C-alpha cells in the first residue's frame, strides 16, 4: 500500500445558477483504486466527473493531484497549458459516446498514435508498432489499423477509445458510462477488457455508471449520488450487499441480481 493518495478532493460543489450540480464532495483516491460513482440520471454523476477532470470548473472546492514528480498540485490553480498536458499524458477520459473521444475521420492507428505524437514521439515505425500493440490489446485486428473508426461497430469504437487513452500509460482514467450505448454481450466483453487492463496497468480510475453490475465488476469502492449529494460511500461489495441508505436500498432492490 502506498502511503499517498493520487487525488485529494475536498468540498467540491458545482451550482448551475441556483440548481445544484453536485454538493460538497470530498474523498481521496489511491493509486490502483477504482471508484464507481453511481446514481440515477440527473443525480450529478457527470457533473462531478467533469469537475474532477477539470473539464468543468466547480463553484467551490479543491482537487489536488499528485504529479509524477510526487508533488501535489491544485488542479484548479494550474495553467490551462499544464492541465491540458496532464489530460493527454497522465490522464485518460473515456466518453460514453466514442465519437466524442475519437477522431472519426483519421485512421485507428492515428487515433492511438496521436497522444504519442503529442508528447513528441517522432518515429513513425515505433508509433505504428505501439498502435498495433494497443489494437491487439483491445482486441481489434491489426488489419484494421488504417481504417477510420466510422467503419467500426460501437463496441470496437469504444475499445479504440480506450486504447487511445491508455497508450501514454496514464495513471488516472475517468470513464463516463463506458458501456452506455452497447449491447449486453458487447458490454460484457468491454467490461472484462477494462477490468483486465486496470489490473495489469495498476490504473486508478473513476467510473461513472448507472449500472450496478459495472460498479460491482470494476470498482473497489463506490459512491452513491442523489440530488447532487453523495449519500453513501464505501467498499463496493459492502454498499451493494448491505446498503444503508433508503435510496441505495431502492437502487439495489430495483435490479435483479448484481
Ligand X SMILES: Nc1ncnc2c1ncn2[C@@H]1O[C@H](COP(=O)(O)OP(=O)(O)OP(=O)(O)O)[C@@H](O)[C@H]1O
Binding site for ligand X (CB under 6 A): 241-242
Dihedral, 179, 110, 79, 32 alpha carbons, nearest 10? 50
Q: State the Cα–Cα distance between residues 193 and 161, nearest whole angstrom.
A: 13
Q: What does 128 interact with, of another protein, ligand X, none (CB < 5 to 8 A by kind)? A: another protein
For the CB of residue 20, give the shortest distance to another protein in the complex, in Å. Answer: 23
Q: State the Cα–Cα distance between residues 37 and 254, nearest whole angstrom.
A: 17
For the CB of residue 163, give the shortest distance to ligand X in the complex, in Å. Answer: 39
User: Can residue 115 be called a binding residue for another protein (CB under 8 A)?
Assistant: yes
For the CB of residue 26, give the shortest distance to another protein in the complex, in Å. Answer: 13
Q: What does 139 interact with, of ligand X, another protein, none (CB < 5 to 8 A by kind)? A: none
**C-beta of residue 191 within 8 angstroms of C-beta of residue 32:** no
For the CB of residue 242, give the shortest distance to ligand X in the complex, in Å. Answer: 5
What is the contact mask toward another protein in residues 72 to 101, using x (rule: CB under 8 A)? --------xx--xx--x-------------
For the CB of residue 249, give the shortest distance to ligand X in the complex, in Å. Answer: 9
- Cell of residue 147, nine digits: 481504417
**C-beta of residue 173 within 8 angstroms of C-beta of residue 166:** yes
- Residues 6 or more apart whose CB falls under 8 angstroms from that of 65 comprise 6, 7, 8, 72, 73, 75, 86, 172
Q: Which is nearer to ligand X, 18 or 253 (CB)?
A: 253
Site for another protein in 217-256 (CB under 8 A): 217, 220-221, 234-235, 237-238, 241-242, 244-246, 249-250, 253
Q: What does 73 interact with, of ligand X, another protein, none (CB < 5 to 8 A by kind)? A: none
Q: Which is nearer to another protein, 59 or 227 (CB)?
A: 227
Of the candidates 186, 176, 107, the one whose C-alpha atom is nearest the C-alpha of residue 154 is 186
What is the contact mask toward another protein in residues 22 to 61, using x (rule: CB under 8 A)? --------x--x----------------------------
Q: What does 42 interact with, of another protein, ligand X, none (CB < 5 to 8 A by kind)? A: none
Interacting residues with another protein (CB under 8 A): 1, 30, 33, 80-81, 84-85, 88, 103, 106-107, 109-110, 113-115, 117-119, 122-125, 127-128, 145-146, 188-189, 191-192, 195, 199, 217, 220-221, 234-235, 237-238, 241-242, 244-246, 249-250, 253
Amino acid at each position: 500500500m502506498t502511503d499517498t493518495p493520487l487525488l485529494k478532493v475536498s468540498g467540491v460543489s458545482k451550482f448551475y445558477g441556483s440548481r445544484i450540480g453536485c454538493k460538497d464532495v470530498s474523498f481521496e483516491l489511491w493509486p490502483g483504486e477504482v471508484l464507481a460513482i453511481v446514481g440515477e440520471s440527473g443525480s450529478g454523476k457527470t457533473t462531478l466527473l467533469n469537475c474532477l477532470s477539470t473539464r468543468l470548473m466547480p463553484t467551490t472546492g479543491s482537487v489536488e493531484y499528485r504529479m509524477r514528480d510526487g508533488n501535489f498540485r491544485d488542479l484548479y490553480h494550474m495553467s490551462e497549458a499544464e492541465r491540458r498536458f496532464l489530460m493527454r499524458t497522465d490522464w485518460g477520459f473515456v466518453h460514453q459516446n466514442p465519437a466524442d473521444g475519437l477522431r472519426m475521420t483519421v485512421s485507428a492507428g492515428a487515433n492511438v498514435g496521436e497522444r504519442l505524437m503529442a508528447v513528441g514521439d517522432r518515429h513513425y515505425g515505433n508509433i505504428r508498432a505501439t498502435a498495433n500493440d494497443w489494437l491487439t490489446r483491445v482486441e481489434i485486428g491489426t488489419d484494421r489499423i488504417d481504417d477510420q473508426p466510422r467503419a467500426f461497430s460501437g463496441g470496437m469504437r469504444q475499445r479504440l477509445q480506450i486504447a487511445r487513452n491508455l497508450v501514454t500509460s496514464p495513471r488516472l482514467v475517468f470513464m463516463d458510462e463506458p458501456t452506455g450505448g452497447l449491447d449486453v454481450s458487447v458490454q460484457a466483453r468491454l467490461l472484462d477488457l477494462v477490468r483486465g487492463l486496470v489490473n495489469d496497468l495498476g490504473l486508478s480510475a473513476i467510473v461513472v455508471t448507472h449500472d450496478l453490475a459495472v460498479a460491482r465488476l470494476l470498482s473497489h469502492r463506490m459512491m452513491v449520488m442523489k440530488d447532487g449529494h453523495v449519500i453513501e460511500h464505501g467498499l463496493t461489495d459492502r454498499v451493494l450487499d448491505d446498503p444503508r441508505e433508503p435510496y441505495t436500498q431502492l437502487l439495489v432492490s430495483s435490479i435483479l441480481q448484481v
